[in-house]
Amino acid sequence: MSITSIAQKLYFARRQNELQKHINHGADLQQKVLESLLCRADDTEIGRRYAFSSIHKYETFAQDLPLNDYESLKQDIDRMRRGGEDILWRGKVRWYAKSSGTTNDKSKFIPVSKEGLQQMHYAGGRDSVAIYLMNNPNSRIFDGRALILGGSHQANYNVEGSLVGDLSAILIENINPLANMVRVPKKQTALLSDFEVKRERIAMETLNKNVTNISGVPSWMLSVLLRVMELSGKQHLEEVWPNLEVFFHGGIAFTPYRKQYEQLITKSDMHYEETYNASEGFFGIQSDPNDKSMLLMLDYDVFYEFVPMSELDKLNAYLAAPMSAKPEKPTVVPLWGVEVGKNYAMVISTSCGLWRYVIGDTVQFTSTNPYKFIISGRTKHFINAFGEELIVDNAEQGLAHACLETGAEVLEYTAAPVFMGDDGKCRHQWLIEFAREPEDLDRFARILDDKLQEINSDYEAKRFKDITLQPLEIIKARQGLFHSWLKQRGKLGGQHKVPRLSNTREHIEQLLKLN
């Protein structure tokens, strides 16, 4: 009997049965989560401020509590980082996940409580494996090592009592010591802040290990795997790690990288499972390998709400207004109010003290029994300069189709509007770094443009007869451009990512200058 089969029986079987409650009982699970969160936080400052002890139904919760972004919680979070207790969550929160910044600050510091670690982040890791084993009962995943990429962390000595790091580093720092027996690289290596040094050490440390599974962000993992290939002199990764069977990936869309992974790993029994793990919490797992949508995890310490994307302007106006002069709230629906096929901005309340927090991601439900969804984009990562409402999911579909038709492979990309000139003409400008260039870049652009019109009626309307929105423009990026840009900004490795779509030209102008 393999170690994996023993682990399945002793540790995962019970949880696999519990996951069946996500079918038919999703709303009940979420109601219980809300009750639990309010009860555990009723004696905190925010609990007393909004009388959590007297809230017994969702409607009261939605009416009494404001919607929040980081700016509106920042003052309380800063007090927590200085050692304050019982503010947004009970007790003292020691860890803070460093995330990309806001308009007013270089970085955000997301609280990560002990409960949040266990009941969201580690629960998500456990369930990712549980679901994988359900789909692959003959797995030998625990008979070898797990390669897990980590970020970096540092004690923030300027703020008493708090520690700051990438979420992945926080997870590695606090993980059960037994888990370190089955993971690589060494903890010291995983927590290195210099990604280029870390990549080299990871490759050296894992080269001769029996790696059965890998976990991380596709772009950074690919960089590590290519270095492993260089050191090994092999042609395919299964020649280095013959027992490799699954890649648990998340952080960015996998579509631009899939073909490169399939060329690197050619074995027919290689599996890929997407997860949705953010600094703010763990939210979804791909439960069916033949369906790209993810199962929304409903019995963690996360209560979900959703704002229809049609009310995004109203949401942004609400969040931007001072607390003393808030306009009317946008429409917000709980889980049981969502509809299949609609885009929503996601709102969460968690045991880390994020209450009705607009996370910045947009999702689209593909099913409501069970609740399954795709990440459709970001509330700030879209192009709507001319009413075209282009979202990241549109871009991913369009690029995948153009690559299929031309044999090209996209490594990285970003896109932004070129605003109207004196002639009233405008267009979208795409900066693309290819792993394999198309023979005819103009044809690639036409196919991409046509596909975007096919899947987005607003884009199609604006492109009608080239009257206003002209055919999109593609600029070829030099090799390593996006890597250089991230390095220049101190954002190599970890959970840092390239902004795919932007309604302004801030990022693309920096990249064009480097190009």
Q: Is 97 domain-assigned?
A: no
Q: Are residues 346 and 401 in the same domain?
A: no
Q: Looking at 343, 378, 413, which one is the last position of a domain? A: 378
The more confident residue out of 456 and 76 is 76
Is the previous residue joined to 370 through a cis bond, with omega within 30 degrees of 0?
Answer: yes
Q: Is 179 domain-assigned?
A: yes
Domain count within the chain: 3
Q: Are residues 348 and 479 in the same domain?
A: no
In angstroms, the CA 249 to CA 218 distance is 6
Q: Looking at 378, 409, 424, which one is the last position of a domain? A: 378
Q: Are residues 359 and 477 in the same domain?
A: no
Q: Is 104 domain-assigned?
A: no
Q: Are residues 77 and 190 in the same domain?
A: no
Query: Burial code of 335-364, b = ≥16 C-beta within 10 A, e = fewer?
Result: beebeeeebbbbbbbbbbbbbbbbbbbbbb
Q: Is 80 domain-assigned?
A: yes
Q: Are residues 374 and 326 in the same domain?
A: yes
Task: Please report, for the domain that includes residue 177, its CATH number.
Answer: 3.40.50
- Residue for token pair 């996998």: 254
What is the pLDDT at residue 296? 98
Q: Are residues 232 and 130 in the same domain?
A: yes
Domain extent, residue 74, equals 3-86+302-378
Is the pLDDT score of 156 beyond 70?
Answer: no
Q: Long-range pairs for 400-404 at CB < 8 Å and ≥24 separation?
A: 400/255, 400/256, 401/447, 401/448, 401/451, 402/438, 402/444, 402/447, 402/448, 402/451, 403/259
The pair of structure tokens assigned to 324 is: 């003393």
Q: Looking at 260, 294, 328, which one is the last position of a domain? A: 294
What is the pLDDT at residue 187? 85
pLDDT tens per residue, range 234-291? 999 999 999 999 999 998 778 777 888 999 999 999 999 999 999 999 999 999 999 9
The backbone torsions φ and ψ at residue 114, rounded to the nearest 5 degrees and listed phi first, read -60, -40
Q: Are residues 371 and 314 in the same domain?
A: yes
Per DSSP bridges, beta strands 302-308 and 333-334 are antiparallel
In angstroms, the CA 297 to CA 319 distance is 27
What is the pLDDT at residue 103? 45
pLDDT tens per residue, range 25-63? 999 999 999 999 999 999 999 999 999 999 999 999 999
Q: Are residues 198 and 272 in the same domain?
A: yes
Cβ-Cβ contacts under 8 Å for 140 (sequence gap 6 or more): 2, 4, 212, 243, 245
pLDDT tens per residue, range 455-512? 887 788 788 888 778 999 999 999 999 999 988 887 776 566 788 898 889 899 999 9
The pair of structure tokens assigned to 194 is: 């210099």
Q: State the amino acid at position 205 in one-letter form.
A: E
Q: Is 91 domain-assigned?
A: no
Task: Please report, for the domain that includes residue 458, its CATH number.
Answer: 3.30.300
